[in-house]
């Protein structure tokens, strides 16, 4: 009786087509059904490595690192100017899981610029914000707002140094009135100064000094009075929140 070799089951053609269609390594531009285009490296049919993505609906371009289909690493995101059509940089820095994450710079406009740390697409950690009115905030951020210790320097060089909460002056702080040669030191709640003391500070060199020196505090124990007031305002506010 002749020996018959068992037949090898025939593989469906679609398996072969799928293997051939898998994208790995460097590829030329690939177009999706939506019209988006990607040029760069692939792994296991996902964008992975260095590459450039252009979105059809917005015209936005991302150029940088990818990890299994998501922006991850260092990259730059740009949008076309609606008038000139030229591309303007929006964000340049670190990414993680398709979001701004780590150290990076965001251009909200030509004059509103943030440079610092990000967490899950929000300003978080230390950072510096340049505003269009020529003021600058430098300090701690949380959940996209100044939060913690920070300094706001105004266009006229006056500045606040102290504690912030949810984008507002909140807690112990100092406000320097350089054009008047005065310093206010006290407690703030929701951007409002609640209690403190005003003293002369560099009044001799001030541009527009007050016409007379600030009189000396005559309280027997001004430090104790201020501490009690600070505790009352801050404790009350914390209970409300």
In a domain, 196, yes or no: yes
pLDDT of residue 215: 74
Nearest to 169 by CA among 161, 180, 181, 157: 161
CB distance 114 to 131 below 8 Å: no
The predicted-structure confidence for 122-164, as pLDDT tens digits, reads as follows 999 999 999 999 999 999 999 999 999 999 999 999 999 999 9
In a domain, 107, yes or no: no
The predicted-structure confidence for 22-45, as pLDDT tens digits, reads as follows 778 787 789 989 999 999 999 989
207 token code pair: 């541009």
pLDDT of residue 113: 98
pLDDT of residue 232: 72
In a domain, 193, yes or no: yes
Q: Is the pLDDT assigned to residue 14 strictly greater than 60? A: no
For the chain, what is the mean pLDDT? Answer: 87
24 token code pair: 């790995």
In a domain, 227, yes or no: yes
In a domain, 35, yes or no: no
Placement of tokens 């310093």 in the chain: 183
Q: How many domains in the chain? A: 1
Nearest to 118 by CA among 138, 104, 136: 104
For residue 230, what are the domain limits?
Answer: 157-241
In a domain, 179, yes or no: yes
In a domain, 70, yes or no: no
In a domain, 101, yes or no: no
pTM: 0.81
Maximal C-alpha separation, the chain: 124
């Amino acid at each position: 009786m002749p020996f018959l070799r068992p037949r090898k089951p025939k593989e469906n053609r679609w398996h072969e087509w799928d293997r051939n269609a898998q994208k790995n390594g460097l590829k030329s531009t690939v177009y999706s059904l939506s019209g988006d285009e990607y040029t760069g490296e692939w792994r296991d049919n996902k964008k992975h490595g260095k590459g450039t993505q252009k979105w059809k609906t917005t015209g936005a371009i991302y150029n940088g690192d990818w990890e299994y289909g998501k922006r991850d690493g260092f990259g730059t995101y740009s949008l076309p100017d609606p008038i000139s059509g030229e591309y303007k940089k929006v964000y340049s820095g670190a990414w993680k899981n398709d979001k701004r994450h780590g150290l990076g710079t965001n251009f909200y406009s030509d004059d509103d610029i943030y440079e610092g740390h990000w967490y899950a697409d929000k300003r978080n950690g230390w950072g510096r914000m340049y505003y269009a009115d020529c003021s600058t905030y430098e300090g701690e951020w949380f959940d996209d707002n100044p939060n913690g210790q920070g300094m706001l320097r105004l266009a006229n060089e006056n500045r606040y140094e102290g504690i912030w909460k949810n984008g507002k002056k909140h807690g112990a702080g100092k406000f320097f009135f350089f054009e008047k040669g005065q310093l206010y030191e006290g407690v703030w709640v929701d951007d409002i100064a609640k209690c403190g003391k005003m003293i002369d500070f560099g009044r001799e060199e001030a541009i527009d000094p007050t016409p007379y020196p600030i009189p000396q505090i005559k309280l027997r124990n001004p430090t104790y009075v201020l501490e009690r007031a600070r505790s009352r305002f801050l404790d009350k506010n914390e209970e409300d929140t």
